[in-house]
Amino acid sequence: MSLQKDDLLGSWTLTSFTISYSDARKPRFPFGETPKGRLVYTDSGHMMALLCHELPCDFKPKRLEEGWKASESEKARAFDRSMSYSGRYRIDNNTVTHTVELAQNPAIIGTEQSRTAQLNDSTLTLSYSIETKSGATAFLELLWNKEDPH
């Protein structure tokens, strides 16, 4: 059965982000083994995703506006430990495509991020694959649990 818009609506919590490979490499966990994240799909066709590493950064400003005081290396580390974007989404059978309109990394604005989606009870699996520089295939899988709306 094809995925429907109503299946996605609401807020989802990231429980796992794993990259496995077609060669003999060990799996990777780019945001740690217990990542943090939220994915939201709205009825109006908008979405947002925020993923964070399980470990906080060393730089801890007291206010949001003080982030500019971080050193270049602290900023780079923070960039490597989080990812966020938002835009519009569409569903085609079991593929969800995010059209990126805003992003922490401006280089992905205007791109389309397509994911194979599988819904099992209250767990949404989004997966895709890419070719690595060595020619192996990397399989990326993100597991999201539906948040209780109350």
Residue 86: predicted pLDDT: 98
Q: What is the pLDDT of residues 46-84, one digit of tens each?
A: 999 999 988 777 766 667 677 777 778 877 777 778 899
Torsion angles phi and psi, residue 14, rounded to 5: -70, 130
**What is the C-alpha separation between 6 and 67, in angstroms, rounded?**
37
Q: HSE (CB half, 13 Å, CA atoms) of 91? A: 20
In 3D space, the residue among 139, 143, 142 whose CA is nearest the CA of residue 27 turns out to be: 139
Residue 2: predicted pLDDT: 87
Residue 85: predicted pLDDT: 97
| Domains annotated on the chain, with CATH | 5-146 (2.40.128.280)
Residue 80: predicted pLDDT: 77
Residue 71: predicted pLDDT: 79
Alpha helices in 65-131 (DSSP H): 72-80
Are 142 and 127 in contact by the 8 Å Cβ rule? The answer is: yes
Specify the pTM: 0.89
Are 35 and 53 in contact by the 8 Å Cβ rule? The answer is: yes
The low-confidence residues of the chain, meaning pLDDT below 50, are none
**Scanning the structure block, which residue is given the tokens 């993100």?**
142
In 3D space, the residue among 55, 51, 57 whose CA is nearest the CA of residue 16 turns out to be: 51
SS (H, E, C) 40-84: EECCCCEEEEEEECCCCCCCCCCCHHHHHHCCHHHHHHHHHCEEE
In 3D space, the residue among 120, 127, 141, 142 whose CA is nearest the CA of residue 96 turns out to be: 127
Neighbours of 88 (CB within 10 A): 15
